[in-house]
Amino acid sequence: MIKKKKDIRREFIIGEAAKLFKQKGYGGTSMRDLAEQVGLDAASMYHYIKSKDEILQGICFDIANTYVSQLTEIENATQSYSQKLKALVRLHIHLMTTKGPEVSVANNEWKSLSPEALTEFKSLRSQYEKRLAALIEAGAEAGEFQQVNTSVALFTLLSAIRWVELWWKPDRGITTEELENSILTILFQGLEKK
């Protein structure tokens, strides 16, 4: 037996929690709300999860680790810095369209992590930003990018795509391909026509 029924239930609870946390915030979601969503009494959920905080940790660190491993792959690829950056932006967008609630929670609710988890999470994020900044810096030195402040470029890129996690639904009348292309056009070519 590879995956126990208990684990499946547990994952279901965490998935529903992600949806609720995205919708109403971590603080705004009670364990009783979550219990109702999964069709259990609140007390019963504690057979599958240890605490509310553990759920949030699961979501946040799962996403954080995904981001880190994607960045590592790109760092090791042989492409121009411009291509690397574009590929990374695509991966970010893709993750938002496939794991919307989880990404949303990791991006917006991490402040509610317990103190120890919070420290660890901020450290992970800081490392990620440093490595990404290095990529931008290298690209600028290679003459591939405009001369703009690295931090500004870093945060503008990361921030510019954040709306996707809130906006994207399968029925928006736009494919993920179009979505990615439009965003990449604005960020790398600029909105203004030359």
Site residues (vs its own copies, CB under 8 A): 24-25, 27-28, 82, 85, 108, 111-112, 143-146, 148-149, 151-153, 155-164, 167, 174, 178-179, 182-183, 185-194
Residue selected from 15, 36, 40, 128 as contacting DNA according to rule CB under 7 A: 40
Residue 61: contacted member of its own copies, DNA, none (CB under 5 to 8 Å, by partner type): none
- Considering the complex, state which of residue 30 and residue 151 has its C-beta at the smaller distance from DNA: 30
**129 contact choice in DNA, its own copies, none (CB below 5 to 8 Å, kind-dependent):** none
> Tokens 């439009």 label which residue?
182
Rounded Cα distance between 42 and 126, Å, is 36
CA distance 10 to 116: 23
Closer CB to its own copies, 120 or 144, in the complex: 144
Could you give the CA distance from residue 174 to residue 121 in angstroms, rounded to a whole number? 33
Decide: is 46 part of the binding site for DNA (CB under 7 A).
Answer: yes
Question: Is the Cβ–Cβ distance between 42 and 95 less than 8 Å?
Answer: no
CB of 57 to its own copies, least distance (A): 17
Query: Which span (1-9, 81-89, 95-103, 155-163) binds DNA, by CB under 7 A?
Result: 1-9
CA 129-130-136 angle, to 5 degrees, is 90
| Residues 58, 14 contacting (CB under 8 angstroms) | yes
Question: Which of DNA, its own copies, none has residue 31 at its interface (CB below 5 to 8 Å by kind)?
Answer: DNA
113 closest CA partner among 55, 170, 49, 155: 55
Contacts of residue 125, defined as CB under 8 A and 6 or more positions apart, other chains included, come to 64
| Residues in contact with DNA by the rule CB under 7 A | 5-6, 9, 29-33, 40-44, 46-47, 51-53
